[in-house]
Amino acid sequence: MKAAVLREINKPLVIEDVQYGNPAPREVLIRTVAAGVCHSDLHFQNGSYPYQLPAILGHESAGVVEAVGSDVTYVKKGDHVITCLSAFCGHCEPCITGRMSLCSEPELQRDEDGPSRLAKNDEKISQFLNLSSFAEYMLVHEHTVAKIRDDMPMDIAALIGCGVTTGVGAVIHTAKVEPGSTVAVIGCGGVGLSAINGAALAGAARIIAIDMVPSKLELARKFGATDVINAGEVDPVEAVREMTKGGVHYSFEAIGLAKTAQQSFKMLGMGGTATIIGMIPVGTMVELHGPEFLMERKMQGSNMGSNRFRVDMPRFVDLYLQGRLHLDELISRRIKLEDVNDGLAALETGEVARSVIMFD
């Protein structure tokens, strides 16, 4: 199969012929139909987060089941599925206490001394975040897929696999935004726009979108933002506190910078909660001052929207088909696998929401 392989940090991905194995008893072979190019892929490509190389990147995807292992009963050949990097074992402490997105059991991967799921001749290729979807096929553990209805467009479904689940989930699961509350979202890329949409679904009374790109702020209004702030023109903390007479109930940082994480905390009102969604680079320190914690202000992280993806993703599909989850506008362009490096480069400019690789 054709796949985009990362061999060196800060180097372009290389389109190569790679082999995949046969499904083990609890594995599923998926023909990839669509894969979103996500900022998380860029973080690993540029070395902000380390990973064992060579690897096939990609983790936001949808496809069709081609074959299943002998013990798989959840899906069958021909089923349409969304993939999720939040693979779960179902029996560790995070899983049985309802925090499946925090599962990290090694049984979800193959043993190091066994045959690799991905290889090029005799060279093992690392599977990225349980998936590696910048490839024509994915061989994955059965607990990385959610079955969806056949009438859902696959290019749109792919976005649910990461960005939408991360953004909407951070609002409804991690922060548990209450109806009538005030919300500020810093960063209006795919994840930030999904958080804005999630805040609207949750019934927030005021949703303030913050970015430095005017076109993104206009797009934010379509997703439910009631107000917008251009952080390149005004101090966003002062602007939010003035607009809300003291600060918001909830803030969300969807960029991954120390500066914006600190801003998300400073724009809180009394008892407010800041949720960090963005991937802040390894080794980066976020500075907060002691008095800022008075009046019960809180800062917390969110991993993949604290999802229960086999429950959440089919629901998100229904919300999209009902016209309540705005996903069409998240796709800036559809590209081919050979254009994956252009898709990654476009993320650097901040002008696009999502490029989606189409395999059919």
Residue with tokens 């917008």: 228
Q: Which CATH class is domain 2-148+327-358?
A: alpha beta
Confidence (pLDDT) at 114: 82
> Do 2-148+327-358 and 167-302 share a fold?
no
CA 29 to chain centre: 22
What is the C-alpha separation between 358 and 360, in angstroms, rounded? 6
What percent of the chain is modeled with pLDDT above 90?
A: 86
Q: Which CATH class is domain 167-302?
A: alpha beta
Per-residue tokens: 141: 């553990």
Residue with tokens 């970015």: 211
Q: Is the pLDDT of residue 220 over 80?
A: yes
Per-residue tokens: 92: 């560790």
What is the C-alpha separation between 162 and 304, in angstroms, rounded? 7
What is the C-alpha separation between 130 and 128, in angstroms, rounded? 5
Mean pLDDT of the chain: 94
Known catalytic residues?
38, 40, 43, 59, 162
**Cross-strand pairs, 146:** 82
Confidence label for 282 from pLDDT (cuts 50, 70 and 90): confident
What is the C-alpha separation between 60 and 353, in angstroms, rounded? 14
Q: How many CA atoms lie within 13 A of 197 on its CB side?
A: 29
243 backbone φψ class: left, alpha, beta (φ>0; ψ -120 to 50): alpha
**Domain parsing of the chain, residue ranges:** 2-148+327-358, 167-302
Q: Looking at residues 328-336, what average pLDDT do you find?
A: 93
Confidence label for 351 from pLDDT (cuts 50, 70 and 90): low
Give per-residue pLDDT as tens, 119-151.
Answer: 999 899 999 999 999 999 999 999 999 999 999
pTM: predicted TM-score of the whole model, two decimal places: 0.93
Give per-residue pLDDT as tens, 312-324.
Answer: 999 999 999 999 9
Residue with tokens 């372009």: 12
Q: Sheet with 268-276: list strands edge to edge.
A: 227-230, 206-211, 182-186, 248-253, 268-276, 298-301
Q: Over the range 310-340, which residues count as b (16 or more CB within 10 Å of their CB) and which as e?
A: bebbbebbebbeeeebbbeebbbeebebebb
Q: Over the range 13-35, which residues count as b (16 or more CB within 10 Å of their CB) and which as e?
A: bebbebebeebbebbbbbebbbb
Closest CA relative to residue 226, chosen from 245, 246, 204: 204
